[in-house]
A and B are shown apart, each in its own frame.
Chain A
Amino acid sequence: MKQLNTVLQAILNNPQIQNNPIAMNALQMYRAGDSQGLQKMAENICKERGTTTNEIKNAIMQRFS
């Protein structure tokens, strides 16, 4: 857990991540354990890209099967 926090901190300190509002929001939500917020963000991104979270999930699962 301590190692994970160190990695997370390193990511958060990355200037590229700091300048990216989506990545920063996602990491902050992950840190706070806001799974509903992350779900909503994923749904928003999928909606903008004309797809759904289920479709993306299925596509990923097909790659591994």
Chain B
Amino acid sequence: MQPYINPAYFMYNNPYIHQNQSVQAALNGRVVPTIDHITVNDIPMDGNIAVFPLQDLSEIVVKNWDATGKITTRHFKEVLEIQPTILPSEDIKIEYGANGELAEVFSKRFDELTAKIDKLEETFSKTRKVKKEIETE
């Protein structure tokens, strides 16, 4: 029969595990819903930094006391790895070029607008003529 080895005893006497635990303990901070939830007491005054990941992981805020007695704040924001889809120039021509449907719709709309402007100009010129005639009479 083999002797029973308590796993807790092994963990306690393992210097490597202790080393890792001490590294984890040195990291100050906590997960916060918003930046406003960070209080002054969350930041250690021993010169170490405190890390505050936002709950939605949109940002990581790092705060520490500087030598002058002020709190410095650094914001780390996520960078999306997905590249924006770049269409080849020929595809762009097809979608937005002179032959495209979009260009046709715009040209129609411009034609309508120019026609309306012409009509407005006509009515203005007519009213001016009438005014001049009244003034001469």
Contacts and interface: CB of A to CB of B under 8 A. Distances in A.
Interface of A: 16, 19-25, 40-45, 48-50
A42 B69 CA distance: 7
Closest 7 CB pairs of A and B: A44-B69, A21-B67, A25-B67, A41-B69, A45-B69, A20-B47, A21-B47
Chain B interface mostly: loop
Interface of B: 40, 45-47, 65-71
A48 B70 CA distance: 7
A59 B46 CA distance: 24
Nearest to A37: B68
Contacts of A21: 47, 65-67
A22 B40 contact: no
A30 to B, nearest CB: 14
B40 A40 contact: no
A22 B67 contact: yes
A20 B69 CA distance: 11
B69 A24 contact: no
B24 to A, nearest CB: 19
Contacts of A49: 40
Contacts of B67: 21-22, 24-25
Contact of A20 (B40, B46, B68, B70): B46
Nearest to A18: B47
A22 B47 contact: yes
